[in-house]
Every structure is written in C-alpha cells, then in structure tokens.
Homo-oligomer: A and B are copies of this chain.
C-alpha cells in the first residue's frame, strides 16, 4: 500500500508542493513537516489530484479561510456553483467545500474539483442521504454500505478533505436527550446520522467502522475533517454537555488517525457567546492534543441575520487568536437562504479580515508588515498605494472614487482639516509626499 503524506514526512521526504507552500509562508520546512507528523497541521491534497494552490492548515501557518459552495433542492444550477467558485477564488479563499444537496450531485462536485485551484472538501453523507431519499424513500433507510460508498466516491473523484460526523454516537445522543436544547441539531450531516441512529437503533457506522474510513482516507490521501454534528445552533445551546461529549469522542478518533498515518482536523462551533470563545478553542486544542481546529464562525449572537458574516467574523477573529487554524466563512445570507456569488465574495473578504487580524495577534511577520506598508501609504496620503494595499481593492477603490473631490489631497472625511497632513510640519517632518 502506498505511503501517506504523514509517513513520507516521517522518513524526511517532503513533496515539492509542501516545500513551496512552506516557503510561501516563510516557514521552515522542518517545522511544517514536524507539525504534520505530530498531527498539529494538515496539508489536504488528494493523491489523484494536486490542487494548484494547496495550503497548510495549522502548525503556525497563516489562518486559512474556507468558502462553502453547493446547491440545494431550491437552487441546483451547475453554472451558479462555478460562478460562486470563481468568486471565492478571486476574493482570496484558501479552500472551498461543495455542500450540494440538489441537482446532479456528481456532476457538480466533479466540475468544482476540475475547476478549483484550491483544495476542495465535501460532506459525503449528504450524497448518501439524498440518494437514500430518492431511491429508498427516506434518509433513514440509508445502509452503512450507502454511506461508505459515498465516501469512496468522493475520495475517488479527487476531493482533498471530507467532513465525517463520527462523533455522533448512540451514547452522545443519550447525552443530548438528557440535556434538551432549543435548536437540537443544526448540522445537516449530524442530523442525518442522528436520525439514522435513533430510527435504526444502531451505532453510527462512521464511528463503529472508523477503521474502514481510515483505510479509504489512506488510500486516497484524503484529510478527514471530524465534523461536529452536535455543534450548538444558538447561543443558548453553546458549550453544553452534548457538544463537549462529542468533542471527547473526536479527541479519541484524532489519536487513531495519527496512528494510521491519516491527516485529520477537528470541526468546531457554531454559535458561541463571546465570553466562551477562547475557552472553546482551548478545550478543543487540549482534548485533541493540538489538532488543527476548523470553526464555523463562531457566531457571537443569533440576531444578526443579514449580517451573520460579521457576527461570525467577531467570533472567528477571537477564535483564531486563541488558536483556531481554519475559519469557515459565513455569508450575509446565512440563516436566510442559499448564498449568491456576491454573498460568497462578501463572506470570503470579511472572514479574511478576521483571519488577518488574528494573524497579526499571533505574531505572523508578513501580516504585521502588510499593515505597516498600508500605514506608511496612509501617512503619505499616497492613495494609489493605499488602494492597492487594501485587502478588498475593488471596494476600497469604489468607495474612495464615489466621494473623492477633484484637487483634494486628503480624503473628503477631513478635507482641508486633515490631521495627518497638518501635524507633520509641527513635528519637524517634511511636507507629506503625495502622489498626484
């Protein structure tokens, strides 16, 4: 059987793509390789496909941003998904996931894998559930074989990482039932598996036969993203017994991944009040012995519909400062509908701002240098440089252009009374150089 990346790295053999990725982040290769070997970083990269722009997640690297794509039963067009993919790539996402549940699932997934320069993730249980609904009349009529078949299909089609909700076990569901929630289960994969377990009175096949998952992941060099099927779906449910019970299970499975030479990361909440964000990250990092932590948000309030990307950016920045490595974006359309390409763009940009703020806090030199270049351009009233250095060049240029006035050297906020310009003279500095 072919070696996995972890095994190659244990022998000191690093693939060129990893060397390049480490170099781009100015990280010593040995450090990155060591982190992957220890299970503290991942480099999702399917054996059959090498994404053009793979990325290191965890291990002291820059915080990464994922954009969720995918159809639903209401919007199932392939073209729209490819447009969303382009929007995500252009906005600077580091990875995308195809979460389709509507239309021709295989075709959509294969088209995204084909077109994406970024690592692509998916959630195979969605496909198993949709197929079971179509072919057997109900989601809970899925067989374990259906579930593993979907995993195999996805891995064989070049997917780089898959979410598997292995922690939704019979025992964890007992904990859930003993501690009722407002929003029960909001993870789709988590809900499908929980429904299956409760209806069939059988253990979660992904948990019971975890070795089979490991074997598939090994064969295709697919990174497992251990899903949090019981992530809290509202502030009231945050950090409850069921969530923590599931995390404990995931911690055990992380260890089994490491032993099998399979890369894995762990998914986290969800909706978490601001004062519990840091504790959630610390807990996950402790329980998983430092596995890369992939958070969805967390949203720090439930009432921000229309601006949930911002509620998520607040939680995401704080989570990433505390150690989360991978931020799943949230778009302005969250809780209201399937995102459009414009929503995708906005979601990626705002999540990148959160990640970048955390990178500064985490002492990543390139992050701080970027801000320093911007600040020097700002002090110099060098507008062209400022607009080029903006994380969102397009919007910065548009907003500046809409209000700027011919002949004004400062911006129109202060006009003649620009503090930046005014004070330089009195501090014995030369008149500020301006590009005109």
B-side contacts of A235, CB under 8 Å: 360, 368, 371-372, 375
B-side contacts of A185, CB under 8 Å: 419, 423
B-side contacts of A358, CB under 8 Å: 274
Please, how many angstroms separate the alpha-carbon atoms of A75 and B303 in the complex? 35
Does B311 contact A314, Cβ atoms closer than 8 Å? no
Does A317 contact B188, Cβ atoms closer than 8 Å? no
Whether A374 is near chain B, meaning CB under 8 Å from some CB there, is yes
Whether A136 is near chain B, meaning CB under 8 Å from some CB there, is no
- B interface footprint on A387-414 (CB within 8 Å = 1, 0 otherwise): 1011110011011101111001001111
Interface size of A by CB at 8 A reads 111
Does A422 contact B139, Cβ atoms closer than 8 Å? yes
The closest CB in chain B to the CB of A192 belongs to: B422
Does B333 contact A399, Cβ atoms closer than 8 Å? yes
Q: Which of A12-20, A51-59, A144-152, A335-343 lies at the binding interface?
A: A335-343
Does B186 contact A306, Cβ atoms closer than 8 Å? no
**Residue of A133, A192, A375 ringed by the most chain B CB atoms within 10 A:** A375
Does A184 contact B336, Cβ atoms closer than 8 Å? no
Does B425 contact A195, Cβ atoms closer than 8 Å? yes
Q: Which of A212-220, A252-260, A348-356 lies at the binding interface?
A: A348-356
Does B303 contact A390, Cβ atoms closer than 8 Å? yes
Whether A202 is near chain B, meaning CB under 8 Å from some CB there, is no
Does B422 contact A198, Cβ atoms closer than 8 Å? no
Assuming the A-B contacts A235-B371, A390-B303, are A426 and B188 also in contact, with contact meaning beta carbons closer than 8 angstroms in the complex? Answer: no
Please, how many angstroms separate the alpha-carbon atoms of A172 and B195 in the complex? 66
Whether A104 is near chain B, meaning CB under 8 Å from some CB there, is no
Does A75 contact B403, Cβ atoms closer than 8 Å? yes
21 pairs from A and B in contact (CB 8 Å cutoff): A74-B405, A74-B408, A101-B415, A101-B417, A102-B416, A194-B423, A198-B427, A274-B361, A275-B361, A301-B356, A304-B391, A305-B374, A305-B400, A306-B392, A306-B399, A314-B357, A332-B399, A335-B378, A336-B399, A337-B412, A338-B415
A-B contact sample (4 more), CB < 8 A, given A183-B378, A187-B419:
A274-B317, A300-B361, A305-B396, A338-B412
